[in-house]
Amino acid sequence: MTEPQLGSPVSEKTSTGLEQNTAALLSYLFTSVTGLIFYIIEKDNKYVRFHAVQSILFGIALFLAGVLLIIINTLLNSINIPFIPNILAMFLSFAYWIGSVIVWILLMVKAFQGERYKLPFIGDIAERNV
C-alpha cells in the first residue's frame, strides 16, 4: 500500500468502510477518544493508524499543557501586584486555546487532504507506533 501524496485523490477504503481521508479526519474529531477508537478498529491502513496515534498524542499533549497552564496561572495569581498577573494569565489562556484550535483544525484539514502531516516530536512518535 502506498502512502498518499499531497494533492493526490484519497479514495482508498479502510477496514471501517470509510475512505481513508475521512477516517483520518474523524480520528482527530475528539482528539484522544476518536484517535483511540480508530487505532483499535483500523488494523491495516497505516495512513489512518498514523493519524489516530498522532491524535491520541495530541490530546495527551493538550491535557498536559492545560495542567501546566493552570499551575502557571495559579502562581501568577498569587503574586501581589495589581492587574498585571491577571492580564498575563488571561493572555496565556487565550493563546493556549486559540493555538490548540488552530492546530486541531490544521490536523483535520491535512488528514482529509491526504497529507501525512507530522507535528514536531509527536509525529515522529506516531510514525514509529503505526
Q: Over 50: is that where the pLDDT of 67 sits? A: yes
Residue type, 71: I
| 23-49 tens-digit pLDDT | 999 999 999 999 999 999 999 999 999
Q: Quick one: pLDDT at residue 99? A: 97
State the pLDDT confidence band at 12, using cuts at 50, 70 and 90: confident
Closest Cα partner for 58 from 96, 24, 32?
Answer: 32
Full-model pTM: 0.86
Mean pLDDT of 98-105: 97
Q: Over 80: is that where the pLDDT of 5 sits? A: no
| 109-122 tens-digit pLDDT | 999 999 999 999 99
Q: Quick one: pLDDT at residue 6? A: 41
Residue 63 makes CB contacts below 8 A (sequence gap 6+) with 32
Mean pLDDT, rounded, of the chain: 90
Q: Is 12 helix (H, G, I), strand (E, B) or coil?
A: coil
**CB 116, CB 47: distance < 8 Å:** yes
Q: Quick one: pLDDT at residue 98? A: 98
Mean pLDDT of 2-30: 77
- Evaluated on CA atoms 119, 121, 124, 126, the torsion sign reads negative
CA distance 57 to 55: 5
